[in-house]
Amino acid sequence: MTLDRFYPIFDSAAWLDRLVPLGIKLVQLRIKDTPVPALRREIRQAKAICAAHGCTLVINDHWHIALEEGCDFIHLGQEDLDTADLSAIRDAGARLGVSTHDKAELARALDLRPAYIALGPIYPTILKKMKWHEQGLDRLRDWRELVGQTPLVAIGGMSVARAAGAFDAGADCVAAVTDITLHPSPEDRIADWLGATR
């Protein structure tokens, strides 16, 4: 499977409604700490938006609701892997993306034959407190050799200016969050990203 080279991550269907129509072809919905009924509404809305615009939707973490709502691509962090029913995800035919930070996590992820492996944070990130310091481009180069043909996603502190370095280091795809959502004009930033990745 080929991933689009640009992979924005948003925390609401409202962001997708606003920005997916601008040409985004791969997007993740990552919502934390939300009651199930509201979460289900967000996932349904996101699915409809992506279907209307030919965009691949990845649901972060909430695999059970994603499967119930007919979504076919799920992203799990390492802690999520501990509790997810991986056979149910596989039996549903859903694709799986997995976060990794060290070689033990990478080995675990590769055993699952995922649709992609994500490495992060490549650069310092303000998005969430993590025990992992910045991985850097050298680690990304190492991962490129270790993952073989599995698509590799660079995430964490990524910006339009840093995208070329990540691609040069072997990333197939670059994920971005705050570089878009905190930009004075997210629409203009999407245009910059599309220009840098297409």
- Selection from 172, 62, 55, 194 nearest residue 118 by Cα: 172
Quote the pLDDT of residue 81.
96
Quote the pLDDT of residue 123.
95
Q: Which numeric CATH code is attached to 6-197?
A: 3.20.20.70
Per-residue 3-state assignment (H helix, E strand, C coil) for 63-130: HHHHHHCCCCEEEECHHHHHHCCHHHHHHCCCEEEEEECCHHHHHHHHHCCCCEEEECCCCCCCCCCC
Write out pLDDT tens, residues 64-107. 999 999 999 999 999 999 999 999 999 999 999 999 999 999 99
Q: Where along the chain do its domains lie?
A: 6-197
pTM: 0.96
Write out pLDDT tens, residues 142-180. 999 999 999 999 999 999 999 999 999 999 999 999 999
150: three-class secondary structure by DSSP: coil
Write out pLDDT tens, residues 118-148. 999 999 877 656 666 789 999 999 999 999 9
Rg (CA), the chain: 16
Tokens representing 62 are 């909430």
